[in-house]
């Protein structure tokens, strides 16, 4: 469903809202899977560097649509999660996140990035799709960062410092169990449409 509201708001721009149901998402999920397959042939470090460069280019464009800036923020969080050694992202999840970066860094994807105003629309959609697919992982990662920040803010003895890795590992395993439980519950309920 694609809706556009026009009228008095025209001077402020056009508000576009659309809802993609599961049958509509099949095409985009196939693009996502193809990007994940291509990511195996790319060096992860180079892919991340290219994504960071593109994020900076997007942020430097003062005329970019707001939703593109939000997509860049979301992408940066994916990069942070991929690179966080303490969090130790499982390989299968890391591959999914890297696939999103590969798609984002392809200038000739579904809508070529050089088209003003629209070039990053498909990228933003794919990032939103990845964010939805990884929502439990991203939520757990945010909890992990808060836990780690709280633990590091406390005064540490040498013994406590030595136990840091063990404590982070225990918390990470607990979060992994929570993620798997939420994913099972969601699978039993069935997938929901993406609202964007």
Mind listing the pLDDT tens digit for each residue in 143-187? 999 999 887 666 566 666 778 888 899 999 999 999 999 988 888
Is-above-0.75 flag for pTM? no
Q: Report whether 111 contacts 118 (CB < 8 A).
A: yes
Identify the pLDDT of residue 175.
95
Q: What's the pLDDT band for 53 if we cut at 50, 70, 90?
A: confident
Ordered by start, the domain boundaries in the chain are 22-133, 137-190
In total, the chain counts a number of residues equal to 196
Query: Sign of dihedral through CA atoms 35, 37, 41, 42?
Result: positive
Helix (H) or strand (E) segment spanning residue 4? strand 2-5
Higher-confidence residue: 73 or 13? 73
pLDDT > 70? residue 75: yes
Q: Report whether 172 contacts 81 (CB < 8 A).
A: no
Mind listing the pLDDT tens digit for each residue in 90-130? 998 998 888 888 877 765 554 555 555 555 666 777 777 77
């Amino acid at each position: 469903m694609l809706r556009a509201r026009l009228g008095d708001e025209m001077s402020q721009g056009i508000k576009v809202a659309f809802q993609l149901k599961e049958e509509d998402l099949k095409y985009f999920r196939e693009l996502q899977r193809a990007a994940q397959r291509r990511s195996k042939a790319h060096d992860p470090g180079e892919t991340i560097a290219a994504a960071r460069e593109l994020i900076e280019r997007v942020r430097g464009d003062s005329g970019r649509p707001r939703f593109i800036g939000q997509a860049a923020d979301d992408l940066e969080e994916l990069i942070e999660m991929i690179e966080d050694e303490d969090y130790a992202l499982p390989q299968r999840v890391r591959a999914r996140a890297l696939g999103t970066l590969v798609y984002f860094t392809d200038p000739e994807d579904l809508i070529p990035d050089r088209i003003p105003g629209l070039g990053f629309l498909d990228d933003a959609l794919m990032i939103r799709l990845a964010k939805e697919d990884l929502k439990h992982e991203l939520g757990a990662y945010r909890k992990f960062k808060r836990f780690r920040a709280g633990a590091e803010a406390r005064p540490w003895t040498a013994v406590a410092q030595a136990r840091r890795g063990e404590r982070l590992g225990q918390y990470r395993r607990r979060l992994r169990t929570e993620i798997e439980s939420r994913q099972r519950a969601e699978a039993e309920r069935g997938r929901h449409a993406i609202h964007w």
